[in-house]
Amino acid sequence: MTKTLLSLGHGYSAQALAARLLPEGWTILGTHRDPAQAEALRAQGVTPLHWPIDFEEALQNVTHVLSSIRPDKEGDPVLRAGKQALQAAAPNLTWVGYLSTTGVYGDMDGGWVDEETPPDPGGIRGKMRVKAEAEWHDVTGLPLHIFRIAGIYGPGRGPFAKLRRGTARRVIKKNQVFSRAHVEDIAQVLAASMIAPNPGRVYNVCDDSPAPPQDILSYAAELLGMDPPPEVPFEEADMTPMARSFYSDSKRVRNNRIKEELGVELKYPNYRDALKAMLEAEET
């Protein structure tokens, strides 16, 4: 049976998943907003669909659905447009994945969370995610899997460019700790879940080594043979509201479930392994 994935919001993480699935003979339909992206998707082997789409038509012969589209203040844009079509297609779907965020847990002052920790977001973006998760759960019969992903990084999304430009700063905030997820590990978690669907399950996706953000910058500078960038107290840092909002939550995220249930062995279990590999890839 041909496996066909409808990728809604075919961005950074979804493209990494597609790179794993296409050599296995999958058909992948990916949505985009910019017509200029269509040729790039075709070059990757993905069939482009311009958003918004006709859901009834797009879902024909689809076996798997992945949504990476962020919610807005009104809720989830995918479900506003396609809830009825998704519900009608549910009996023919093997797996549905929704990419959420560990931001739903809110601030734990550096403490640990796992999938059983009740969501308690403080910021508007986290609250929108909790609402969107609930909306997806409300679609009758959908074989839904929720993936709460930590800060995403990988090729093209590392600290090296800012360090080379001299614009990087180590923002220091007491007890501030982040968990991270390398994009290739996100892709392997999704692929493993597709092989062993467990509808209704929630998975945290992150590495094994939560760390203060300044540690990542210091190590990246060391790899480049540079001095660490200057330290700036959080209260004095010149940051966008979006960047500042990331510092409102401090927590360590457990990832036992992806290992024990999905058999995932992280390719990049810590930021040191990931940054070394990213720099080596840049230099080849």
d(CA 102, CA 156): 22
Q: Spell out, as residue ranges, where the chain has pLDDT lower than 70.
A: 1
Domain assignment present for residue 171? The answer is no
Instruction: Examine residue 198 and state whether it is found in any structural domain, yes or no.
Output: yes
The number of distinct structural domains making up the chain is: 1
**Mean pLDDT over all residues of the chain?**
96
Report d(CA 14, CA 255) in Å as an integer.
Answer: 20
Does any domain span residue 185?
yes
pLDDT for residue 1: 65
Beta bridge partners of 204: 148
> What residues have CB less than 8 Å from 61, skipping those under 6 apart?
2, 4
Q: Is residue 72 part of a domain?
A: yes
By residue range, what is the domain housing residue 261?
Answer: 4-154+180-208+254-268
In a domain, 276, yes or no: no
- pLDDT digits 0-9 by tens, 213-264: 999 999 999 999 999 999 999 999 988 888 888 899 999 999 999 999 999 9
In this structure, is residue 247 part of a structural domain?
A: no
Model pLDDT for residues 246-260, shown as the tens digit of each residue: 899 999 999 999 999
Report the C-alpha gap between 188 and 163 in whole angstroms. 29
CATH of the domain at 36: 3.40.50.720
Question: What is the predicted pLDDT for the residue at 63?
Answer: 98
Domain annotation covers residue 243? no
Q: Does 59 fall in a domain?
A: yes
